[in-house]
Every structure is written in structure tokens, then in C-alpha cells.
Amino acid sequence: MRYEIAVIPGDGIGPDVVREALGVLDAVGARFGREFRFTSNLMGGAAIDAEGVPLPASTLAACRESHAVLLGAVGGPKWDALPGAKRPEAGLLGIRSGLGVFANLRPAFMFPELAAACPLRPDIVSGGLDILIVRELTGGIYFGERGRSSDGLSAWDTERYSRSEIERLLEVAFEAARDRNKKLCVVDKANILESSRLWREVAASVAPNFPSVELSFMYVDNCAMQLVRNPRQFDVIATSNMFGDILSDEASMLTGSIGMLASASLGDGGPGLYEPIHGSAPDIAGQDKANPLATILSAAMLLRYSLHLEDEAKAVEKAVASVLAKGLRCADIKSGAASERVLGTRAMGKAVVDEIREARS
Ligand code: IPM
Ligand code: MG
């Protein structure tokens, strides 16, 4: 069977890191005898420049017809002055919602080799870190009603969640916790927000279906603090769109760098969307400086969740671990140790490809 993958390089470092991930998928295809077909699609600033809209209908259609979507990053200063609905980020929200990928899995996993890149005291992270943030992705304040008063002197955005939106997200989170270390923490602001109180009610109603999972609740401000005080207390964190956006950036840094964090966005059976959690870093775009590993690890998630190619996914993750074990680093994850060699984007991608090839012989 041939796997159709819709690719959206996007803006800034997006094309740099996506190019390396495609090289890795090609190497996986060669090693395991799989055929991947890639189509390149416009979104974000690149689409605004070429077609005048951040998400052309042809892009969404191509994504819907594929088995999975691999995305780099969108946005940049060039488009910052545009009104909200015309910005590159509107394309990103449009594709998430257009594909119905409501559950965003963001694993904050620390490769043991990168312990020195973690900004926390070694004793706080000794034994490693393995947290999965399950972020709601197609609802909440990102998609709620927003506007400005006619005099322009006030503005509003709305956090709104329905029972069914919360329930389907929490089911994914409970299932993940059941299959991992059996702890689920629902993070909210239930001391203030009515929508958070609904999240708690729904969590309590779903919990009996997952008797092996220990459910707890935590306010988001406390969670932000606990993540740096004692991150090893967490297994799976489930939270709303905006809280998940914020906490996943924080958690990523604990693993060494935001340049390492992959993500999978899943819906009800349609194509999944895979993207690094970092942004488009326009300041280093096209300079062979970006770390491609988050996108390469996103490609591994794509193999696992959308194509159900578990051995292939593991091969990619293993190749990344081997590269790190050899002391190869991008600038964002170097610790300065003499045993390290700092590589650019292309050389890092090639190092992962070489690992995959070598493992074959
Ligand atoms: C992310 C990003 C996006 C988000 C931006 C670029 C709109 O920060 O994927 O975390 O807020 O979801
Ligand atoms: Mg973010």
C-alpha cells in the first residue's frame, strides 16, 4: 500500500525542518519497504503571499485526502500587521479545526543524553522526565466569540466548552494514562472559570470507565509552578487549548529544548496532523541552524498514530536516541561538554538518516 502524506512546510524554519523529516521518512521507506508519497501544500504566510489567504481550500482538500499531514511552522513578522482572521496563524487554526483534530498529544520526554540541557537542578529530574500533555485543540478561547466594542476601547475573547468537546478529549487522555503510568491530572482554573468547573464534572463522569487510572485536579497556576518544582509527579496532563499551549512550552524546556518537542493532533479517524510545537523562528530561517529533531520525532508519531507502523516509528526514535548518544547536538541542545559536536539542520537530519540506514545492514 502507498501512504499519502500531505506536507505543509510553512514559514520561517518550517521548510528547513520539514525537509529533514522527509529525508528520514524516505530512509524509513527504503529500510522497511514502505512507499510514501508526499504532496507539498501552501499554508500560513507562504499561502498569503502566493494566494492571498492563509489556508487555501486546495490545501485543506489535499490534507483531507491524505493519510496524514506533516506540518512545519507558520507565521513571521512579515505578516504580523494583518488582522487576526488573515494572519498565518488563522491558517493553522483553520486546518486543525477543518481536520477535526481535537486531541493534541505533546509528549515532554527527556532523552537521558540531554539531561545536561535541562535548566533544572539535576536532582529534580534524576530518573528522567516523561510527561504527556493532552491539549484540547479545536475549542476554547482560541475559537470562541471575540470582538471589540464600537469605540475600540474594549475587546473580548470567550472561553467556551461543550460537554461533548470535553468528554472526547478526556477519553483520549484517560486512555493514554491507562496505557502509561495510570495517572491523569486535569489542569484548569476551576476556582474562577465556570468552563473549568464543567471540565471537572465531565472528568468525574468519565473516570468510572477507567478504574485503573488515578484522577487528580490542579489549578493551572499551581501546575506551572509544580512543573519546575517537581515535574516527576506528572504522567498525563489533560487541559484546555490555551492552558495546554502555555504548559507545553514550559514542559518542553524541561526536556532540554523546545526544539525537541513533537506533537500529534488526532480526531475521529480522519488524517492526523503532526507538527513540532515550536514556532517558525524567522530570525534563523534558512540558515541551517534550526533543530530538526522535533519535526523528525513528529514524523515518528505520524508513523505510529496515522499509519500504524509501530516498528518504523520506533526505528526513528531509536535513531534520534543514537545520534544524541554519539554526542551530536544542534545549537539549542548543546551543553558545552567536550564530547559534543554541534551540527546544523542538514547534518543533523543526515545523522538520523545514517542511523536508520546503518541499522538496516
Ligand atoms: C502551538 C503554537 C500555536 C498555538 C500558534 C502558532 C498559533 O503556539 O502550536 O503551540 O498557539 O496553538
Ligand atoms: Mg504554543
pLDDT digits (tens, 9 = 90+) for 130-169: 999 999 999 999 999 999 999 999 999 999 999 999 999 9
Minimum-distance ligand to the CA of 273? 1
Average pLDDT over residues 2-6: 98
Q: Which pLDDT score, from 0 to 100, does residue 359 have?
A: 78
- Whose Cα sits closest to atom 1 in ligand 1? 277
- Residue 208: partners with Cβ closer than 8 Å, 6 or more residues away: none
The span from the CA of 139 to the CA of 161, in Å, is: 7
Which residue in 18, 3, 1, 23 sits closest to 298, CA to CA? 18
Q: Which pLDDT score, from 0 to 100, does residue 335 have?
A: 87
Average pLDDT over residues 62-86: 97
The span from the CA of 167 to the CA of 1, in Å, is: 34
Which ligand 1 atom minimizes the distance to the CA of 280? 6
Instruction: Indicate if ligand 1 lies below 6 Å from the C-beta of 279.
Output: yes
Which residue in 149, 131, 160 sits closest to 242, CA to CA? 160
Which ligand 1 atom minimizes the distance to the CA of 242? 11
Determine the residue of 11, 55, 79, 92 to mutate for testing ligand 1's pocket, defined as the one with the most ligand atoms within 8 A of the Cβ atom: 92
Average pLDDT, the chain: 97
- Whose Cα sits closest to atom 9 in ligand 1? 277
Instruction: Indicate if ligand 1 lies below 6 Å from the C-beta of 281.
Output: no
Determine the residue of 89, 96, 250, 295 to mutate for testing ligand 1's pocket, defined as the one with the most ligand atoms within 8 A of the Cβ atom: 89
Residue 293 CB-density burial (10 A; 0-12 exposed, 13-18 middle, 19+ buried) = buried
Average pLDDT over residues 322-329: 97
For 43, phi then psi, to 5°, come to -155, 160
DSSP state, 223?
H
Instruction: Indicate if ligand 1 lies below 6 Å from the C-beta of 89.
Output: yes
The span from the CA of 4 to the CA of 28, in Å, is: 15
Q: Which pLDDT score, from 0 to 100, does residue 361 have?
A: 54
Q: Which pLDDT score, from 0 to 100, does residue 148 have?
A: 96
Report angle CA 283, 57, 242 to the nearest 5 degrees. 55
CA 107 to chain centroid: 8
| pTM (2 d.p.) | 0.96
Neighbours of 1 (CB within 10 A): 7
Instruction: Indicate if ligand 1 lies below 6 Å from the C-beta of 11.
Output: no
Instruction: Indicate if ligand 1 lies below 6 Å from the C-beta of 136.
Output: no
pLDDT band for position 360 (50/70/90)? low
Cell 518544582 locates to 229
Which residue in 189, 96, 183, 187 sits closest to 138, CA to CA? 96
Residue 310 CB-density burial (10 A; 0-12 exposed, 13-18 middle, 19+ buried) = exposed
Instruction: Indicate if ligand 1 lies below 6 Å from the C-beta of 165.
Output: no
pLDDT band for position 116 (50/70/90)? confident
Which ligand 1 atom minimizes the distance to the CA of 93? 7
Average pLDDT over residues 233-241: 98
Domains identified in the chain and CATH numbers = 1-102+264-361 (3.40.718.10), 119-254 (3.40.718.10)
DSSP state, 84?
G
Per the CB < 8 A criterion, the answer to whether 247 and 282 are in contact is: no
Neighbours of 112 (CB within 10 A): 11
pLDDT digits (tens, 9 = 90+) for 257-310: 999 999 999 999 899 999 999 999 999 999 999 999 999 999 999 999 999 999
Determine the residue of 239, 245, 252, 265 to mutate for testing ligand 1's pocket, defined as the one with the most ligand atoms within 8 A of the Cβ atom: 245
